[in-house]
Amino acid sequence: MDEFTIIIEEPSDEGIRIDKYLAAALPEKSRSYYQKAIDNGFVLVNGKQIKSKYQTKLGDEIIVSIEPVKEIDILPEDIPIDILYEDSDVIVVNKPKGMVVHPAPGHYSGTLVNALMYHCKDSLSGINGEIRPGIVHRIDMNTTGSLLVCKNDKAHNDIAAQIKVHSVNRIYKGIVVGNFKEEEGTINANIGRNPKDRKKMAVVSDGREAITHYTVLEQYKGFSYVQFKLETGRTHQIRVHMAHIGHPLLGDDVYGKPVKGLEGQTLHAQTLGFVQPTTGEYVEVNAPLPAYFEELLTKYRKTII
């Protein structure tokens, strides 16, 4: 990341929306780019995260982190994918553990996008650009399960609208550290970039609204099998929320502790329900638990409490 510092010293630069101001002050990126950067915590004003509607003030110190431009070719790759559902508008795949969803620094091949480009040929929406064709939402590299991909821009806009109003049904299963006194609960805690480490997310008062509903399915000695229903879809939401209440995901090497033999967090996107963009019919897809997850449940069920 390249970091730029700007101090508002001229009265003529005061009272301007921060995204508009940055697009003029640092024109190598668009206003929409800066809006996303602000949402993701890569713009700080006087050391604090702000929203795009923030208006500049005299004396403001603005720190902007910009990803350097890199020309890359994203190529189709003949990588097997587990297709759970497919029609002319969308495709739902069962993403395996360890697979990155779309190309990013350090992962320009072997991603789900590379596999989808081979399978779908030219039938992927272009709204998110050449690096993320078809991608309307994501799950983390080490999270497994259902991922919805759009084949055309009309479907992409429709599904994105459903996600925005929280009408997409998303249910996850996970194994967490520790046991619960209650059988179910709701975590309503804003999530934003961690002010001490911008590579991480955290519960922060000025973050974006994040709501996770959870139900405890089984409890074992030192661990619990939990179902999560997302009301919002913030980056790392389940992982951050569970760590926040003292029950990090088993194996989470960012928000908890790594576990020998486990590749990251034990989290699975099981159910994905949405309205089909053309027919208007409700479609619900379920991804079976991966083998490693089933093996852990079998092991822990010997100590069920």
The pTM (predicted TM-score) of the whole model is: 0.77
Q: Where are the domains of the chain?
A: 2-66, 83-303
Confidence of residue 26 (pLDDT cuts 50, 70, 90): confident
Q: Strand 267-275 and strand 144-150: pairing? A: parallel
- The mean pLDDT of the chain is 91
- Find tokens 């074992």 and name the residue: 220
Evaluate if residue 303 carries a pLDDT over 60. yes
User: What CA–CA distances, in Å, run from 225 to 100, 184, 260?
Assistant: 25, 12, 19
Which whole number is the average pLDDT over 165-179? 96
Which whole number is the average pLDDT over 73-94? 92
Domain 2-66, CATH class in plain words: alpha beta
Tens-place pLDDT, residues 203-230: 999 888 999 999 999 999 999 999 999 9
Confidence of residue 183 (pLDDT cuts 50, 70, 90): very high
Q: Can you tell me the distance from the alpha carbon of 135 to that of 102, in angstroms, rounded to the nearest whole number? A: 8
- One fold for both 2-66 and 83-303? no
Which residues are catalytically annotated? 140
Give the pLDDT of residue 128. 66
Q: Which CATH number fits domain 83-303: 3.30.300.20, 3.30.2350.10, 3.40.630.10, 1.10.3720.10?
A: 3.30.2350.10
Question: What percent of the chain is modeled with pLDDT above 90?
Answer: 66
- DSSP tag of 96: P
Q: Are 267 and 249 in contact (CB under 8 A)?
A: yes
- DSSP tag of 251: T
Evaluate if residue 1 carries a pLDDT over 70. no
